[in-house]
Structure 1
Amino acid sequence: MGFSTILALLVFITIHFIISWWRQHRRYRSLPPGPTPLPFLGTPMYMDPLTADKDYTLLSQKYGSIFTLWKQTEPVVVLCGYETVKDALLNRAEEFSARPFLPTVHIPTKGYAINGPRWRPLRRFTISSLRNFWMGKKTMESRVLEEATYLTHAVSETEGKPFNPFMILSSALANIISSVLFGEHFDYKDPKLQDLISHTARHNRNITSRMYAVCNVFPFLLKLPLVPKAVFKENFYLQNFVLDYIKEHKCTLKPEAPRDFIDYFLLKIKEFTECKVEHEEDPDFCDLSLLNIVVGLLGGGSESTTSTSKFCLVVLAHYPDVQAKVQQEIDEVTQSLRPPTIGDRPQLPYTNATIHEIQRVLDLAPTAFFHAVTKDIQFRGHTIPKGTTIIPFLTSVLNDPSQWETPERFNPGHFLDEEGKFRNRVAFMPFSAGKRVCPGENLVRMELFLLLSALLQKFTFKLPPGSERRDSKWLNANKRDITSNAQLCAVPRALPTK
């Protein structure tokens, strides 16, 4: 092949790619504005999940509350601010209820999961089953209060010396979700529990890592030898962990007395199997969907709540006046004769407000799990094609100056009215909103309130000697390090007597 032939071929390929790229972008000419994408690469400089909060904040200042990024040649629309996110996830919930195809989600689950194409019946059943634990013989509240006893005992063993609360809190929260899913409670020092906690934490970090982001942008990487095994190592560990319980539950299942979530799901599978219908050749309820849903609940049911709980204790150690006010309120309601219960929550408005405000400041998940539109839509003056990936930027909602009086400061007053009563805020969306809101939201809210109030009733959390008190801006900027590495001292309180 001569030089001129090679040159002509290169010119032809270049022209072909330019025309294809032009046609692709001509189709999306009505999309919201955004940074100019690189041909065939998109805007990779803005697709890093670890810098999304900073990047999206800067881009929203330039392009407004809705802008477009590019994953290679596919558009990704980012929504910013309370009004825009509310308009999408609440006012037009059905149109924004789909999920984009993400290889790192589809490959390990094969689509049988709450975030897959079968999400509606699986999500509906999951929420319904979890609700059963609120009203069963052993209610969810009683499970959490029982765990609060184990937790306060474990903290008391630190004897006021500096310690990292992360593992103790992880043990308590992992036990709660374990009791719901498997009906099992572990000793805090049980190696099986410790292994589960460490693998779950690594699994959750992987989901929001650059590694997963790169594989979603360049899915061919997951077809290379050994790559899937390395990428999904922690997911496979959790799957094997859960499979052992599923096998055991199948052997000991009693239809008249379901013990936990796995039992409820196995009974649902049995129902489908016994009522074989022609159009149910590939049922939504099967062993694979059970496996993936339990793994998902296990991953989302403890580690994020642990980080929130620890951050709460660290913040209160930096704000001793707020901590003292919370403790005084708890003492007045309970007289220190019993731990606080959910029924006490209306009488503990400052405690409730403080926990909510710390969640707002922590802003644990800057973006909601990606959405997608179910059809071509007109939204805020732009045309968004069916299937387009949507990223609700929750940080912009939790810090929207139109919704919060002092968004840059830690201020429990955000959740108190003029009479000091607790008030809900419509812009409080740490769990996202709409049809895809976190299915475990109610459980997490209960865990945070009961466990934290039980700890604050028994202990005053202080900074280790020589530590410097910090403001909320510093705490927020260093939240990743704080939730994993910061140490505290838990000093037993001199409780009022009867």
Structure 2
Amino acid sequence: MESLYSLVGAFLEWNSKTLLLFFVVFVLTLDYFKNRKPAGFPPGPKGLPIVGNIFSVDQNRFHESLTKFAGKYGNVYSIRMGQTWMVVLNGLEVLKEGLITQGDNMVDRPDIPLLDDVLHQRGVVFSSGHTWKQQRRFCLSTLRHFGFGKKSLEQVILDEMTHCAAYFKEYKGAPFNPQPIVVNSVANVICSIVFAHRFEYNDEKFINLMDMFDKAFQIEESIWSKLYNSFPEVMRLLPGPHQTFLQMWSNVKDFIREEMNEHKKTLDPSEPRDFIDCYLNEIEKTKEQSDSTFNEDNLIGCVFDLFAAGTETTSTTMRWALLYMVKYPEIQEKVQAEIDRVIGQYRQPSCDDRTKMPYTNAVIHEIQRISNIVPLSVAHATNKEVQLLDYTIPKGIVIIPNLTSVLLDENEWETPNTFNPGHFQNKEGEFVKRAAFLPFSAGKRACLGENLAKMELFLFFTSFMQQFTFSMPAGVKPVMDYRFGITLSPQPFEICAQSRLN
């Protein structure tokens, strides 16, 4: 009897091992056939079964890993993240071909589960097709109405700068962390357009909101995000930073929803105060149109996009600007000398001054170039089969525009890894535009707020340099390394701001 039990036990053990082996072989075979490269697909690094190249890149320097791959596989290559194939575009000519010449074929956004679970492909940045076209057209026209790219918005920015400068002066040259105040100041410019009011710098609710933005942008490009986007059904069930990310963005949406509901109580359709009022009017106007995409969910999505993109990128650039000025005090002095000569110490700057200040303009552009704050832009997707160079890219493939490969390209810049305002000046000291200057990306999906960002950067930076001389605390050297996320932001730092005004 015992021998019978032993025989049965051995059979069951052997059978379970066989079953497990069969299952592993089945999964690997399925993965192989599912993820085979189609004919004419760009080359790229070999990946592991199931996870692809997720663990073969440096997650904290993802853009650098992708740029190195271009040196081996060419300016158009493929990489597989989990179950998703991506094609990475590198170099100025390839990016122009993909984003501009063939831009209509790559204008969609891919399915990104982590973001889809937050925004459900609503709003203007992460939507596609008819929804994107309607929302983009409305956003552009409404933002222009409220001053985007117009002189009328200058005073809003300068008024906010007055609040910011007063805050800096309170420290009387002592060290302080500029991040919260710079973020809040830039955010208030967007708030004036979207909410028709600003938030005080000591508003705890708003401070927490800005802190959530900072943390969420770090998580969004972490290994947790990659795993979530590759295996969403599993990751939705597991704890981790990705769950924190979802909760933080849910809190941001609740904040916007509260503002929207308050606007609905006091809305006067004949006198819209801000973007939300205009959008609520548009919902009412188009409610009988069958193809209308105007609804409260898309309103929250659009405000979310404007708020996130309009705050993070400009405030991050301004923090890099402060760091580069303290690292290169001789450049800071030269900027101040030009400001004193053109504007003086007491008149507020104007965007009209920009053409008279080639050196300051060059410094701002060089800060944007070398800080490279959105290194991989925002992912695109093909909406039809595309021929790019000698390769065939099927419909539905994720496209990664590697802006790093252009902004730090040794073939485009004389000293790509050195802070050098001369990149944007000719021998006569005049400002020179460069084709490889693409911090806002290119094509129809280029940054919606590019004109506002340029205005803010010039007015904030010039005002800072006019009113203060910046330095590091005694004995401290500036750290120029970045924190990797959706944006490349500086490591937290303290700075001293000494007033230049008598």
TM-score (structure 1 length as normaliser) = 0.91
1:409 has 2:418 as partner: yes
Task: Give me the whole-angstrom Cα distance separating, in 2, the residues matched to 1:25 and 1:137.
Answer: 49
Q: Out of 448, 465, 475, which is 2:480 matched to?
A: 475
Q: Distance in 1 between matches of 2:120 and 2:492?
A: 36
- Measured after TM superposition, the shift of residue 406 of structure 1 is 1.1
Deviation at 1:39, TM superposition (A): 2.0
1:170 Cα deviation (Å)?
1.5
Percentage of matched positions with identical amino acids:
36
**Contact 1:311–1:479, Cα closer than 8 Å, also in 2:** no
Q: 1:200: Cα distance to partner?
A: 2.2
Deviation at 1:15, TM superposition (A): 5.3
Q: Provide, for residues 168-200 of structure 1, a one-character-per-residue CA deviation record: whole Å limited to 9, x for no partner.
A: 212211211111110112221222332222122
- 1:149 corresponds to 2:154: no
| Partner amino acid, structure 2, of 1:405 | E
CA distance in 1, matches of 2:90, 2:151: 42
The answer for the alignment partner of 1:40 in structure 2 is 50
1:188-337, aligned counterparts within 5 Å?
188-224=201-237, 230-273=244-287, 276-277=288-289, 279-280=290-291, 283-337=292-346
Q: Deviations over 1:227-282 (max 9, x none)?
A: 77544111011111111110011111111211111011111111112xx13x33xx
Residue 16 of structure 1: how far off its partner (Å): 4.3
Structure 1 residue 54: deviation in Å? 2.4
What's the offset of the Cα at 1:145?
1.1
In the TM superposition, what whole-angstrom CA distance separates every residue of 1:396-443 from its partner, at most 9, and x where no partner exists? Answer: 110112211111111101111232222221111112111111111111
Cα pair 2:81 2:226 within 8 Å, conserved: no
| Matched letter for residue 121 of structure 2 | G
Match of 2:356 among 347, 356, 363: 347
Partner residue, 2:495:
488
**CA apart distance, 1:494:** 4.8
Deviations 1:68-106 (A, max 9, x none): 111234311111121211211122111111111011121
Instruction: Tell me, in whole angstroms, the C-alpha distance in 1 between the residues paired with 2:351 and 2:176.
Output: 29
Q: In 1, Cα distance between the equivalents of 2:246 and 2:83?
A: 26
Partner of 1:175: 188
Q: Which residue of 115, 121, 130 maps to 1:111?
A: 121
* Separation in structure 2 between the aligned mates of residue 98 and residue 152 of structure 1, nearest angstrom: 41
Aligned to 1:102: 112
Q: Once the 2 structures are TM-superposed, how far is the Cα of residue 48 of structure 1 from its aligned partner?
A: 5.7
Aligned letter for 1:289? N
Kindly indicate whether the alpha-carbon contact (under 8 Å) linking 1:46 and 1:52 is maintained by their aligned counterparts in 2. Answer: no
CA distance in 2, matches of 1:229, 1:10: 32
Per mean C-alpha deviation after superposition, the further-off stretch among 257-266 and 129-138 is 129-138
Which residues of structure 1 form unaligned runs of 5+? Answer: none
> Residue type of the partner of 2:349?
P
- The alpha-carbon distance between structure 1 residues 14 and 222, as it changes in their structure 2 partners (threshold 3 A), is closer
* Structure 2, unaligned runs of 5 or more: 1-10
- 1:380-400 CA-partner distances (Å, limit 9, x unpaired): 111111000111111111011
1:410 partner SS: coil
Distance between the aligned counterparts of 1:459 and 1:479, measured in 2?
A: 29
In 1, the alpha carbon distance for the partners of 2:150 and 2:32 equals: 63
- Supply the AA of the counterpart residue of 1:69: I
- Partner letter of residue 349 of structure 1? P
- TM-score by length of structure 2 reads 0.90
The 1:139–1:207 alpha-carbon spacing in structure 2 relative to 1, beyond 3 Å, is farther
1:351-400 Cα distance to aligned partner (Å, 9 max, x none):
11101101111111221111111111111111111000111111111011
Distance 1:388 1:266 in 2: 35
* Cα distance change, pair 41–199 in 1 and its aligned pair in 2 (3 A): closer
Deviates more, 1:300-309 or 1:453-462: 300-309
Please tell me whether the aligned partners of residues 82 and 397 of structure 1 are also in contact (alpha carbons under 8 angstroms).
Answer: yes
Mark the CA change 1:150 to 1:15 in structure 2 (over 3 Å): closer, same or farther.
closer
Distance of aligned partners of 1:163 and 1:14 in 2 relative to their CA distance in 1, 3 Å threshold: closer
Cα 1:136/1:450, change in 2 over 3 Å = closer
Counterparts of 1:477 and 1:455 in 2: how far apart (Å)? 22
Q: State which drifts further: 435-444 or 71-80.
A: 71-80
Q: Distance in 2 between matches of 1:312 and 1:76?
A: 33
Are residue 421 (structure 1) and residue 433 (structure 2) matched? no
Change (3 A) 1:119 1:50: farther
SS at match of 1:368: coil
SS in 1 for 2:192: helix
Instruction: Please tell me the root mean square deviation across aligned C-alpha atoms, in Å.
Output: 2.4
Q: Compared with structure 1, are the counterparts of its residues 43 and 430 closer, same or farther at alpha carbon in structure 2 (3 Å cutoff)?
A: same
